[in-house]
């Protein structure tokens, strides 16, 4: 697993543009959109709008980083290394975990850069060290789930063009049908139902409560943790099943 993880990390840093591209759009959202919409949101009672949208932008970064991780499968298939790994004496779980954890590590790197930028806008974690530990856990679970999903989808599709099209069709609705940019309380009707059906709504809300709230609300954080623990297990199982189908 570590060898595969290291192989993918080397590829990523030999192609740093893959990191820059996935980070550029979220940085624009964080800096420009918060500056443009910040004054309007202050009239709605939101003091630091950059801190308010940071959880949603972090999720956007994770989605983009994990989506780019799926491209590795197409590159490996093109140069033949994908099939060499399949016949090597390596367990299937190590192959899957090695690639998934690479996407998780890149997600953490990009979130760290995003967080460093947000400190210039007076963003802090009001819930302290306990809140920071929970934020790290939630980021890991979000990235692990999404990396397993993108791994599975990349093995399902014939080429990277179709893959990128499908992932854009998934990521954009996830982002916009969530409280990433606006308060959940202001929604109603069918739009609110759609937002509430989005599991990333609960991750964003949990991250927001940890950043803005001084108290860790266990009753709010625990259900989200359990939900994404189940989703992570399902994502990993799906990735394992798709890899097994590749060998049949």
Q: Rounded mean pLDDT of the chain? A: 85
Instruction: Give the whole-number percent of the chain exceeding pLDDT 70.
Output: 92
* Mean pLDDT across 200-208: 94
d(CA 166, CA 170): 6
* Mean pLDDT across 58-85: 83
| pLDDT bucket at 58, cuts 50 / 70 / 90 | very high
pLDDT tens digits along 117-175 = 898 888 889 888 999 999 999 999 999 999 999 999 999 888 888 998 999 899 989 98
Ranking 55-69, 144-158, 183-197, 218-232 by mean pLDDT, the lowest is 183-197
| pLDDT bucket at 90, cuts 50 / 70 / 90 | confident
Residue 86 has pLDDT above 90, yes or no: no
pLDDT of residue 181: 83
Count Cβ atoms within 10 A of the Cβ of residue 193 and give its class: 0-12 exposed, 13-18 middle, 19 or more buried.
exposed
| pLDDT bucket at 228, cuts 50 / 70 / 90 | very high
Q: Which residue has the higher pLDDT, 27 or 42?
A: 27
Closest CA to 203 of 152, 137, 148: 137
What are the structural domain ranges in the chain? 2-247
pLDDT of residue 248: 67
d(CA 118, CA 111): 10
Residue 220 has pLDDT above 80, yes or no: yes
Structure-token pair, residue 102: 């690479």
């Amino acid at each position: 697993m570590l060898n595969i993880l290291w192989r993918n990390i080397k590829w990523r840093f030999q192609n740093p543009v893959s990191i820059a591209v996935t980070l550029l759009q979220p940085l624009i959202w964080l800096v420009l959109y918060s500056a443009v919409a910040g004054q309007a949101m202050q009239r709605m009672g939101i003091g630091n709008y950059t801190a308010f949208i940071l959880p949603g932008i972090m999720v956007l970064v994770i989605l983009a980083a994990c989506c780019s991780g799926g491209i590795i499968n197409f590159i490996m298939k093109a140069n033949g290394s994908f099939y060499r790994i399949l016949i090597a004496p390596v367990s299937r779980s190590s192959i899957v975990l090695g690639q998934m954890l690479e996407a998780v590590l890149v997600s953490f790197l990009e979130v760290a850069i995003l967080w460093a930028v947000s400190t210039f806008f007076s963003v802090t974690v009001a819930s302290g060290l306990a809140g920071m530990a929970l934020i790290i856990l939630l980021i890991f679970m979000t990235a692990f789930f999404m990396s397993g999903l993108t791994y599975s989808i990349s093995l399902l599709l014939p080429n990277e063009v179709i893959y990128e099209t499908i992932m854009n069709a998934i990521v954009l609705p996830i982002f916009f049908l969530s409280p990433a940019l606006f308060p959940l309380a202001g929604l109603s009707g069918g739009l609110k139902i759609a937002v509430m059906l989005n599991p990333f709504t609960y991750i964003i809300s949990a991250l927001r409560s940890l950043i803005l709230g001084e108290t860790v609300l266990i009753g709010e954080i625990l259900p989200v943790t359990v939900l994404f623990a189940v989703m992570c297990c399902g994502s990993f199982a799906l990735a394992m099943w798709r890899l097994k189908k590749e060998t049949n």
